[in-house]
Amino acid sequence: MSDDVYRQLCDTMARRGGTFPGMDIPEFYELAVELFTAREAAIINALPRGLTPAGPIAAALGEKEDTVLPILEKMADKGLVFSIKTKGRTLYSGLPFVPGIFEYQFMRGTDTSRDKKLAKLIMAYKTAVRQHRKPGEKDFPVYRVIPINRSIEAGTRIHTYDQVKSYIESSEPLAASTCYCRHQAKLIDEKSHCGKPDDVCLQLGWGARFVIDRGLGRKISKQEAFDILERSEEAGLVHCTNNRQEIDFLCNCCSCHCIILQNALAHPQPGRALSSGFQPEWYAERCTACETCIERCPMDALQVGPEEIPQVDMDRCIGCGVCATGCPEQAIEMRQRQDTPPPPLDRRALKESLKKSAPAQNG
Ligand code: SF4
Ligand code: SF4
């Protein structure tokens, strides 16, 4: 029975999709047994689509609500299911591994022996999935980069979805938590930490409400969110989020540990896998050839060009603006590319785009 439930869980997590869906390999089962009890796995397998109260979930299992509800609550606290309180009742829904369950495991920033074990199992699973993945899979990007606002050429008419600040201004509540990726690296090997700030993972709107309710992060003011953005930009971190106009998280990523940039780096053309739709342009006369921009670029997209002016490889450039904000001479500005379509509007539109790109993966 227990084996069956985890095999079924593998199918369930495969259907959920995301960057690391369920895969029938030994690393999946080792991780699944650590994350979910057999009872929890059975509940995950029975979850209906969409947000659902405990009653119908219990009915799908042929059980009474009061036996299933405490387990659902515990699973939400552990970041294994999503929950939201609305109109006096709590609704639950399933989560993919990424974005979702993996991140929630380390957002509290704790370092128990179980955290350390889980960090290793998740890393082993991610590595195995990357090895099994066929080249060209997931052609339509699931994430995108938002350029650093102050790197953008003055006078550019910027869409709201290209402005981190407008997301902060329009979202309520806001939450901050520990960067799952850098914390996972620290749990595996303290020395592997890159020294970039850890407390800069932002959640917005209903994403924030969940982490606040479940103690996975803390509620912050808009001013604190702006301060976090500024610290992240100073540290050369990249603003990454869902590839849709409606967003619920804003990661501040380093290329050494963060899952989003690591996946882009594994792509032969990172600029295609993850782009902001902006590109750097140089004022050659201002450049003193100090090479700071080359050192700061998280994608290794820059090299010294003719007359020592840095040259960009657009197949690698993700349009983050980290080069521009680090330039002491203000010799770089980010300009809008003409060839980048707007991100899908919402979750549904992103799903459609992913579905449409699927046949090309097999062709
Ligand atoms: S950081 Fe600025 S001044 Fe230095 S090489 Fe790059 S563009 Fe030139
Ligand atoms: S060149 Fe590098 S740092 Fe500059 S925008 Fe492109 S990826 Fe970012």
Q: What is the Cα–Cα distance from 81 to 129, expressed in whole angstroms? A: 22
Q: Is 271 in the pocket of ligand 1 (CB under 6 A)?
A: no
Please count the other Cβ atoms lying within 10 Å of the Cβ belonging to residue 337: 15
Atom 3 of ligand 1, residue of closest alpha carbon: 287
Q: Give the Å distance between the CA of 159 and the centre of ligand 1.
A: 27
Query: Is there a contact between 351 and 250 (Cβ–Cβ < 8 Å)?
Result: no
> Which residues touch 111 (CB under 8 Å, ≥6 apart)?
186, 187
Among 330, 334, 246, residue whose Cα is nearest residue 283: 330
Pair type for strands 238-242 and 218-220: unpaired
Of the bound ligands, which one is closest to the alpha carbon of residue 240?
2
CA–CA distance from 136 to each of 133, 290, 300, 360, 361 (Å)? 9, 37, 21, 9, 6
Atom 5 of ligand 2, residue of closest alpha carbon: 319
Of the bound ligands, which one is closest to the alpha carbon of residue 330?
1
Q: Is 288 in the pocket of ligand 1 (CB under 6 A)?
A: yes
Q: What is the full DSSP assignment across 4-35?
A: HHHHHHHHHHHHH-SSS---SSHHHHHHHHHH
What's 229's DSSP letter? H
Q: Is 323 in the pocket of ligand 2 (CB under 6 A)?
A: yes
Q: What is the Cα–Cα distance from 223 to 213, expressed in whole angstroms? A: 21
pLDDT of 360 reads 43
Residue of 278, 294, 302 to test ligand 2 pocket, by largest number of atoms within 8 Å of CB: 302
Q: Is 321 in the pocket of ligand 2 (CB under 6 A)?
A: yes
Q: Which two tokens stand for residue 296?
A: 């700061």
Please count the other Cβ atoms lying within 10 Å of the Cβ belonging to residue 53: 15
Q: Which domains does the chain have, with CATH numbers?
A: 2-96 (1.10.10.10), 143-362 (no CATH)
> Which residues touch 339 (CB under 8 Å, ≥6 apart)?
none
pLDDT tens for the chain, 363 residues: list them: 578 999 999 999 999 888 889 999 999 999 999 999 999 999 999 999 899 999 999 999 999 999 999 999 999 999 999 999 998 999 999 999 998 999 999 999 999 999 999 999 999 999 999 888 765 555 678 889 999 988 887 777 778 788 899 999 999 999 999 999 999 999 999 888 788 999 999 999 999 999 999 999 999 999 999 999 999 999 999 999 989 999 999 999 999 999 899 888 888 889 888 889 999 999 999 999 999 999 999 999 999 998 889 999 999 999 999 999 999 999 999 999 887 888 999 888 888 887 777 644 333
Q: Is 147 in the pocket of ligand 2 (CB under 6 A)?
A: no
Q: Give the Å distance between the CA of 297 and the centre of ligand 2.
A: 5
Atom 6 of ligand 2, residue of closest alpha carbon: 317
